[in-house]
Amino acid sequence: MSEAVRVALVGCGIMGTRHVYGYEELLRRGFKVMELVAVCDIDEKRATSVAELAEVRLGRKPAVYRDFDQMFKERSDIEAVDVVVEPRLHHVLAEKALERGAHAIVEKPMGITVKACRRMIQAAEKHRRTLAVAENYRRDPACRIAAKALREGVIGETWMVFMQSVWGRNAIFITVWRHLKEYGGALIDAGVHDADILRYFLGDVEEVHAYLGLYEKERVRTVKEGDQARIVERVKPTSEDAVLANLRFASGALGQYAMSLAGHGASLGQHVICGSLGTLAPAGARSGGPTTVTLDDGTRLSAQQLIDKYKVFEQDEVTPRFFPEGLAEYRLPFQDADRRLIAIEVYDFLDAVTTGRKPEVDGVEGMKAEALIYATHESAALGRPVKVRDVESGTVDAYQRSIDEALGI
């Protein structure tokens, strides 16, 4: 792709700042595919700070705006927007951008609810614009390796998958809003990553039966002062902090998914896929660790062996340029891996805008991942198994209904 797309970044908080570093990675790797022409945030200080960071990192200071509508009035040259605000505003801003003829990429989770996701998809179709979701986990080389190995049948027919993570204690997870149901909640915000990876590896899930729990009744943020920790922020959560779900995939595979953001003591993280010939253990995204396969006869296949045997990156000209340290295993600080994966997802979106192809994670793909993680909440709310397709269509929305009603969706 040679044509630079003129982009406005909407949302200049923690994630918006991370996106600027992702843009810088694009330039560093020789992808001159975008020009950041504007940044927008209701907090002018944050917007100005991100614009100044962009000037240093990208070589040009974008225009600063507090008002989204005013930005579009003054900047007719905006071709695409990168929406990085709270999830409950994703559909509002994406729809406005699409109506004005701009393409849109939105951070995950795609929308505050599945209904909000469907609205964005309809707006993109109506205005014939590209809509993408910034899902970065699947971009990690380890996830690419695992997906290719599964498609090649390295462990035979896939029978079961186990995905479990326990961590968090009573700490505020990044921001207060992630603990409030009306903002989506932490299990949706974090879990949509897992839902996307499960679908990426094993395909559609047909049915979910799940339970939810809310264990930490107060969350706190602390700062260290000498040997003491001082509480500087508190929140009483209204969204759950633990989920346990059984899954039935369209392929016939079964799965168990568990996440607790109220884990104390040692953290737990496990992801294993079992098949008729062996097991596959994917490395976590941004961990830089190896993906391994163990077969019935004891043979262990390393990530590099999988790359060589299945030519994982033969048709991929992008990922190897961002991980010259190695694709089988890279050892980088979290921030370095994070900005590279953001760069790859942004590149995919911009290339789709320029060429007219579908982005890898388009609106439908983003909505399906969100419907899967919301299916766990809907199942718990109803006390029975639910079909994921019913969550996608809106037939089942017991958990989400109050959120939709509060926002007038």
pLDDT in the model for residue 215? 98
Long-range CB contacts (< 8 A, 24+ apart) of 13-16?
13/41, 13/46, 13/84, 13/85, 14/174, 14/175, 15/84, 15/107, 16/41, 16/46, 16/50, 16/84
pLDDT in the model for residue 3? 79
pLDDT in the model for residue 281? 96
For residue 10, give the amino acid letter. Answer: V
Write down the domain spans for the chain: 5-137, 141-284+289-328
The answer to whether residues 205 and 151 touch, using CB atoms and an 8 Å cutoff, is no
**Cα atoms found within 13 Å of the Cα of residue 132, Cβ hemisphere only:** 27
The H helix count followed by the E strand count for the chain is 13, 17
Cβ burial, residue 29 (10 Å; 0-12/13-18/19+) = middle
226 pLDDT above the threshold of 90: no
394 pLDDT above the threshold of 90: yes
Say which residue the tokens 């200049």 belong to: 12
pLDDT in the model for residue 229? 86
Say which residue the tokens 């991980």 belong to: 323
Residue 1 pLDDT class (50, 70, 90 cuts)? very low
366 pLDDT above the threshold of 60: yes
255 pLDDT above the threshold of 90: yes
Say how many Å lie between the first and final Cα of the chain, rounded.
37
Among 54-58, 123-127, 184-188, 266-270, which is the least confidently predicted range? 266-270
Whole-number Å distance between alpha carbons of 237 and 225 = 26
The whole-number average pLDDT for the span 74-99 is: 97
What is 141-284+289-328's CATH topology?
Dihydrodipicolinate Reductase; domain 2 (3.30.360)
**Summary mean pLDDT of the chain:** 96
Residue 298 pLDDT class (50, 70, 90 cuts)? very high
pLDDT in tens, 6-59: 999 999 999 999 999 999 999 999 999 999 999 999 999 999 999 999 999 999
The whole-number average pLDDT for the span 72-84 is: 97
pLDDT in the model for residue 227? 84
pTM, whole model, 2 decimals?
Answer: 0.95
2 pLDDT above the threshold of 80: no
pLDDT in tens, 158-208: 999 999 999 999 999 999 999 999 999 999 999 999 999 999 999 999 999
Q: For 5-137, which CATH class?
A: alpha beta
Say which residue the tokens 């390295």 belong to: 154
